[in-house]
Structure 1
């Protein structure tokens, strides 16, 4: 059995960095994917790089068939809207087994607003929100009763793209300006009531009945003023301190977050791997769902690597958990 890695490299796509000397976008770097391939090969599996979305499109167009192989999906797709859905659609057309969530769950998880609505109907606490796009214009009168500040960001992007200090809007005028700016660049935006607290993320590897990894990471920003948010520059420069599980969170809160994350993953149909983000009020220990990523970054320098370091295991062990989660699920089909 051979594993083919699917990924579109950061180096081949649009650069969102403000500096010409730095490259930043919502995609893995080439070195990260090579690290994954080397790691999987070192575990005794046959693994190689297949390509990204262009190569999958070419395979579909040519009615290519595949035998005795499975695909590991690490791509965020290209630069279009709903990019994370592209690989699952194409892999379904090719009728090959692949890791990660399939088409419909990926669509829902890629849309922050509708994902929130689905979870609200299942009792998950999340901030009050609405969307604005070319089909759904925003009536700012509707926001007059909302609790300021408001938080404005792209609805279908990741990696903090489009997020800056201007995203925290204390007045209606600031909100209007930010909505207009982000609509011009990204098309669709989500407006939320701002949630005070720290950023936490729950990283899951596994499937119902067997989660190999269910760890919560708390991010403490270097700038701890109440309105500081983790923007794209901070993310690029890693301007935060990370803590794992009970290093920062009481055990009771930790268990509640971990259990809710499993519930969310199962409600949405996430497969094999996902990352669920929350905001946690350290005083009240109340937490609110922010968003879920169906294809979280997987490298020795990402959350996966941090968890491995804190657990005193090798990064290749994290890769093995991922392969096992995928294989366990496929064997049940």
Structure 2
């Protein structure tokens, strides 16, 4: 009786074990087939090749990298890497979006402000690597001289006249927007340590900034620079809002989308009281002058004023050819005790009558 009772149980267990074993084998076969199929699909769909066609130095000092899709499928170039010729040292990396159909030629622009950060002085060549979202990449080597190629930066100047009766009471700042380097001069007299030199903050990848919440003594100024440069992360290709906080409140600057081949787009904030030779008792908002500067690939500059205010008279210069005395292209000015801005619906916009196109 005992043997007859055990036999059906063993038989049932054997059936279950065989069933499980068969299921595992079937799963492994299906899994392997699925993996193989997926790999074949990927291999057949990623027949894309990129070919670097050349590198061009733009008038502003930026770089333009030409690339062609010589593959069979559409690709999206999303990363650019620049290494030394050995590929061991990364000099630059940036994110981009370039969609290329089969056989299509396109380009990616690296603005001069980025090129200025590439240290290619000690390398014999550079390797430019372009990668896509599908993982396809192409690299080629070109002479580092294309990066080091000398060019004359376009200098910008902002000048403040402090007195309407004595024109010698003035000071001005000249700066290179690619590096932030600035020099400040005083017009009333010669000083032994003139000009006052420094590096202006360049804000990147940020939508908001607080300079200070209260008026501060000159000795406690939040930045040792009369100007602050803010890079538009959209590069003028989309609308963008930048929010500025200071002792007078919150100010939102609405940068509307622009058309054209834009290399870089940025705001300049200026504190006209900033003057180490005749320091004020305190400083406040760094927005006595707010101007948008757009640089196009062909070398044209678009200058648009958002705000110009205060008791001082202002002048804006582009393509400064001599710093002391100041010489260059005077683009526009603001009178004494004049307050100019365009405030609509909670945002500050460009003033339509204060937009200038200049080719240095």
- TM exceeds 0.5? no
The TM-score bracket by the shorter chain reads: under 0.3
**Higher radius of gyration, 1 or 2:** 2
More helix by share: 1
Per the normalisation by structure 1, the TM-score is 0.27
More strand by share: 2
Q: Which structure exhibits the higher relative contact order, with contacts defined as CA atoms closer than 8 Å and separated by 6 or more residues? A: 1
Per the normalisation by structure 2, the TM-score is 0.26
